[in-house]
Amino acid sequence: MEQTLKYIELKSGFGDNGPAWIGVPDFSKSGRTVYFNNKALKSSSGTGIAGNYYDLETGDEYWVSGVKKDGTDRHWAGGGKIMIDRNVVDLYLDHVNFNVLDKKQFEIVDILPTDKQRFSKIENQPLTETTYKNQSI
């Protein structure tokens, strides 16, 4: 399967300056869930305020997109280092046609594996009367 580089940025509480990562996530069969760094990010189907995905456990909004070929993934109003998975540095450098990674712009990190079964259990647990009453309709 082809590795697809993605840019992922936390938007909730940060605007355009949230923590950001570049890595290769896994996807659900439908492609509507992104599994990355021990999180399940669900597509918000256009209903998000600042992001296009939300964290299944916390509700935090994230922006998930492809990686730009010119290396300008941060929003023009944002800032801060982008964390890049050490396992994809060469893939990223090839994608953007750079020879070296700018250490002022990037921090090399280890991305946590994601246990998809954990999220499957969360999504498939039966609704209880209490759960139903606490959901806004």
All structural domains of the chain with their residue ranges: 6-134
How do residues 38-91 score in pLDDT, each as one tens digit? Answer: 999 999 886 666 678 999 999 999 999 999 999 889 888 888 999 999 999 999
Q: What is the mean pLDDT of the chain?
A: 87
Q: Residue 87 carries which DSSP code?
A: G
Q: Which of 42, 97, 41 is nearest to 68 (CA)?
A: 97
Distance (Å, whole) CA 127 – CA 76: 42
Check: CB of residue 28 under 8 Å from CB of residue 40: no
Of 130, 124, 128, 134, which Cα lies nearest the Cα of 56?
A: 124
Q: At 136, is the pLDDT very low, low, confident or very high (cuts 50, 70, 90)?
A: low
pTM for this entry:
0.83
